[in-house]
Amino acid sequence: MGNFDYLSNYVIPSDILLNLLNIYKQIGKYEALDNDNINKYSVNITKSIEDDTFALVEYIGVRVSFERLRLIITKDFLPKNKEEVKVAAVKKMLISMRENALKDKLPINSVDILDLLKKIYGSSVKLNVNDFILHGNSKKTVRYKFNTLLDSYDELLKSKKQEPIVLSSVAVMEMYNIKPYSEYNELAVILTYYYFLLKCGVLSFKYVSFFKLFLNRKDDIFNEIIKGSINYDLGTLFFSGFLKKTLELITESFKQLENDQKPDLGPKANKGDYIKNTILYDVPDLFTKEDIAKIHPNISPSTIVRALNELHDLNYIMPLGTGRSAKWKRLFNPKEEKIIKNEVQDENNN
């Protein structure tokens, strides 16, 4: 496995090393999230799965109304047609992947990934039966090449001889070039990328949506993979660009996790309390009622309006405009415990 062998002599550049050190500091910090900190802060694990499902089904392009998506994803309603079956399958698949990678630490092989694709697209997806030839190497089947890659990856991960995130980045680039399936190889790469990062212990993706963050950066990330693969037919990968994008993605996930932490509302909290918490902590300073509805699709519009009015009475927010297009301005920053006076004055002047 040529590019894995190259890692034995690879010296991590100083800028990448500093980024890795900062990431591992964050990983160590949030390893306590499952016990001590979970009692002090509210971090919604269920919501991250729901956000992942919404993002992934949008990428796949399922033809289901938002209302039905909301019911299937957040309420586990039974699907009524093939498109809705895909939605339910995606959510179930993501839950299983997270459990297998984070808790059970299971390896993944070509058939496992094929099964994931079949859950979404049906039995038409097949393993690539073509031969795979690199310059100067003997002919092997694509399936053999890919399974060897995954086996080597898992062995190196267990041996702790290579830095896991660097190793995972190289493995993802190898998979992109191998193209192990008859179709939908891009999705297969994305799912495997997600699984590898979970296997590396990137705990932020247990609490923050990987797919929302990744799909916003998908074109830039794949461009780095393509640029780094220019000499792949000669057996060489240039993986630094893609590795840097991976580190940026992970760093952003920890920043979002930091921002998502809010004081726990306690067992007596009602739906309005959660809406008010969202307004004060989660949305931008300028937001709409629809922004709140997307975050809490299972809460009625009347409850949202009531929460907005209560915060308005406290002078924590103010309306800008009227009707369906009206926006709201947050006046109180609970993290800094102060009124955003200058911004309010600017809005009034405008």
Q: In this structure, are 279 and 255 located in the same domain?
A: no
Q: In this structure, are 194 and 317 located in the same domain?
A: no
Q: Please give the pLDDT value at position 1.
A: 52
Look up residue 278 and give its amino acid.
T
Q: In this structure, are 35 and 73 located in the same domain?
A: yes
Q: Please give the pLDDT value at position 341.
A: 42
Residue 173 contacts residue 192 (beta carbons within 8 Å): no
Q: Please give the pLDDT value at position 267.
A: 56
Q: Provide the β-strand partners of residue 332.
A: 339
Range of the domain at 316: 268-349
Q: In this structure, are 39 and 178 located in the same domain?
A: yes
User: Using CA atoms, how far apart are residues 153 and 146, in angstroms rounded to an integer?
Assistant: 11
Q: Which residues of the chain have pLDDT under 50?
A: 35-41, 338-350
Q: Which of 262, 297, 312 is the last residue of a domain?
A: 262
User: For residue 225, what are the contacts with CB-CB under 8 A and spacing of at least 6?
Assistant: 172, 173, 176, 242
Q: In this structure, are 110 and 169 located in the same domain?
A: yes
- Classify residue 145 by burial, with Cβ atoms within 10 Å: 0-12, 13-18, 19+: buried
Q: Provide the β-strand partners of residue 41.
A: 263
User: Using CA atoms, how far apart are residues 328 and 319, in angstroms rounded to an integer?
Assistant: 4
CATH of the domain at 168: 1.10.3290.10
Q: In this structure, are 289 and 257 located in the same domain?
A: no
CATH of the domain at 341: 1.10.10.10
Q: In this structure, are 27 and 128 located in the same domain?
A: yes
User: For residue 328, what are the contacts with CB-CB under 8 A and spacing of at least 6?
Assistant: 279, 286, 287, 288, 289, 308, 317, 318, 319, 320
Q: In this structure, are 42 and 68 located in the same domain?
A: yes
User: For residue 74, what are the contacts with CB-CB under 8 A and spacing of at least 6?
Assistant: 50, 297, 298
Q: In this structure, are 344 and 211 located in the same domain?
A: no
**DSSP H/E element including 287:** strand 286-288
Q: Provide the β-strand partners of residue 306.
A: none
SS3 318: strand
- Classify residue 110 by burial, with Cβ atoms within 10 Å: 0-12, 13-18, 19+: buried
pLDDT tens digit string along 93-107? 999 999 999 888 899
Nearest residue to 88 (alpha-carbon basis) of 124, 55, 120, 47: 120
Into how many domains does the chain fold? 2
Q: Please give the pLDDT value at position 20.
A: 95
Q: How many CB atoms lie within 10 A of CB 224?
A: 21
pLDDT tens digit string along 261-272? 655 555 556 778
Q: In this structure, are 152 and 22 located in the same domain?
A: yes
Q: Which of 201, 233, 262 is the last residue of a domain?
A: 262
Nearest residue to 97 (alpha-carbon basis) of 191, 3, 228: 191
Q: Which residue has the tokens 């993605």?
A: 249
Q: Please give the pLDDT value at position 346.
A: 38
3-state secondary structure 47-94: HHHHHHHHHHHHHHCCCCCHHHHHHHHHHCCCCCCHHHHHHHHHHHHH
Q: In this structure, are 169 and 292 located in the same domain?
A: no
Q: In this structure, are 223 and 307 located in the same domain?
A: no
Q: Which of 210, 227, 262 is the last residue of a domain?
A: 262
